[in-house]
Amino acid sequence: MRATPLAAVLLATITGLSACQRETGPDPLELTGKMFVFNYRLAYATYMITLTKTQPVADGSTVTATFEDPSGGPPLTLDRKLFPKLEKVVLESPDVTCVKKQKPYAVTIEVKGPDGAVLQTLKTSVISNLDQDIMPAEALVVGPAYDKNPDVFRNGRAPEHFPTAVCPT
């Protein structure tokens, strides 16, 4: 007879604890770094955003980053799964073109729980200290062994001048 009240108390406790979902409180991620990465060898640029976990996140949580397209096209989107045991999150955008020096480019990051509910929204901007026109017009190397690009290094020799990237807009 005594087992029934104890079972009821345990059931109520378990039900109450499962209802304690994160509704408010500290944000799970903190922005720790933001920059443009210019890969001179491969002639491309990307946004690079780093985040550090400040709170645990449930398994199945995701992060969605939306990057302003410097060339004026629609925003670029990146979705990543968050892993509970990893403390750092690194987000690298798809390749971008037309990055201009000292111009702020908007980035929005949403952290979503396993159910899709938004847990946190971060808004920031990334500013480059270089124009993308310092980059070569085409990759200097090709393939997995980083062989010299034959379109750039004709007859195995470097050109006197490397053509630089030009923004099509």
SS3 sequence, 36-48? Answer: EEEECCCCEEEEE
Determine the pLDDT at residue 126.
97
Q: What is the DSSP letter of 87?
A: -
In the prediction, which pLDDT does 5 show? 55
Q: Structure pTM?
A: 0.79
Q: What is the structure's pLDDT at 4? A: 55
Q: What is the pLDDT of residue 105?
A: 98
The three-state secondary structure class of 120 is strand
CATH class of 23-136: mainly beta
Nearest to 141 by CA among 45, 36, 38, 39: 39
d(Cα 103, Cα 129) in Å, to the nearest integer?
A: 9
Q: What is the pLDDT of residue 114?
A: 94
Walk along the chain (169 residues) and give the pLDDT tens digit of each residue: 455 554 444 444 444 444 444 445 588 999 999 999 999 899 999 999 999 999 999 999 999 999 999 999 999 999 999 998 999 999 999 999 999 999 999 999 999 999 999 999 999 999 999 999 889 999 999 999 989 999 889 887 888 888 888 887 6
Q: Which residue has the tokens 């807009």?
A: 169
pLDDT given at position 22: 41
- What are the start-end ranges of the H helices in 42-132? none
